[in-house]
DNA sequence: AAAGTGATCATG
DNA sequence: ATGATCACTTTG
């Protein structure tokens, strides 16, 4: 049985538009405080790319909250949505350019809020370094076929950004 | 269809 | 200090 290594800096330094589809089928890994290892196959992602993307949190520029997006690729961006849900993103690309991939779903868990609840991921994981963290990382796996759709929950964005096919969903059963 | 929930950001 | 706005989920 093949053992796959954790994804490293070379994977994360590419553009979010390229990384979002290639994350489908990879394994999101979480080491809980009690030592339990949870590995969940990623089934759904979205990418958010640059200040020109009106759906991206950084489209109005750099603030305290969005500063995470401007870091080097390979760290987590976790923020509180609707006062209830922590949403997990992976920061990608180069420093000073804001881009990230939202992890929207994993096997058997659909929904970005449910997945962070199941894996016990909260805002303390903001800026967690996925390349060397002992509690959150992503393991490599072979590519998987996927379909593309528009992104979800971004009605406030400009039409050009609402229509772009930046959501990626696994076709595997 | 609509509420629940609180950090964030722009306004005053 | 106040108010609007949410990259969601659940309930009816």
CB neighbours of residue A96 within 10 Å? 9
Q: Going residue by residue through chain A, which has 173 residues, state the pLDDT in tens, using 9 for 90 and above.
A: 666 799 999 999 999 999 999 999 999 999 999 999 999 999 999 999 999 999 999 999 999 999 999 999 999 999 999 999 999 999 999 999 999 999 999 999 999 999 999 999 999 999 999 999 999 999 999 999 999 999 999 999 999 999 999 999 999 75
Tell me, in Å, how far CA of A41 is from C1' of B6?
Answer: 30
Tell me, in Å, how far CA of A58 is from C1' of B8?
Answer: 13
Tell me, in Å, how far CA of A173 is from C1' of B5?
Answer: 34
| Dihedrals phi, psi of A80, to nearest 5 degrees | -90, 125
Residue A173 has a pLDDT of: 56
Residue A146 has a pLDDT of: 98
Q: Can you say how many angstroms the Cα of residue A162 is from the centroid of all Cα atoms in its chain?
A: 19
Q: Is residue A70 within 8 Å of residue A58, measured between CB atoms?
A: yes
Q: What is the DSSP string of A128-143?
A: -BTTT-SSEEEE----
Task: Report the C-alpha gap between A111 and A16 in whole angstroms.
Answer: 20
Residues 95-134, chain A: which have Cβ under 7 A from strand C? Answer: 100, 102, 111-115
Q: CA separation (Å) from A14 to A18, A34, A66, A72, A94?
A: 7, 34, 19, 10, 8
């Amino acid at each position: 049985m093949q053992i796959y290594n954790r994804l490293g800096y070379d994977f994360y330094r590419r553009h979010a538009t390229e990384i979002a589809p290639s994350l489908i089928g990879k394994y999101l890994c979480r080491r809980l405080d009690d030592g339990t290892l949870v590995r969940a196959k990623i089934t759904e992602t979205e990418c958010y790319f640059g200040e020109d993307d009106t759906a991206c949190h950084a489209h109005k520029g750099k603030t305290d909250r969005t500063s995470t997006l401007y870091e080097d690729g390979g760290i987590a961006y976790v923020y509180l949505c609707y006062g209830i849900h922590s949403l997990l993103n992976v920061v990608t690309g180069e420093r000073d350019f804001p881009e990230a991939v939202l992890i929207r779903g994993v096997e058997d868990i659909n929904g970005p809020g449910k997945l962070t609840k199941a894996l016990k991921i909260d805002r303390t994981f903001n800026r967690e370094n996925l390349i060397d963290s002992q509690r959150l990382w992503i393991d490599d796996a072979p590519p998987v076929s996927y379909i593309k759709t528009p992104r979800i929950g971004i009605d406030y964005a400009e039409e050009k950004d609402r229509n772009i096919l930046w959501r990626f969903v696994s076709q595997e059963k």
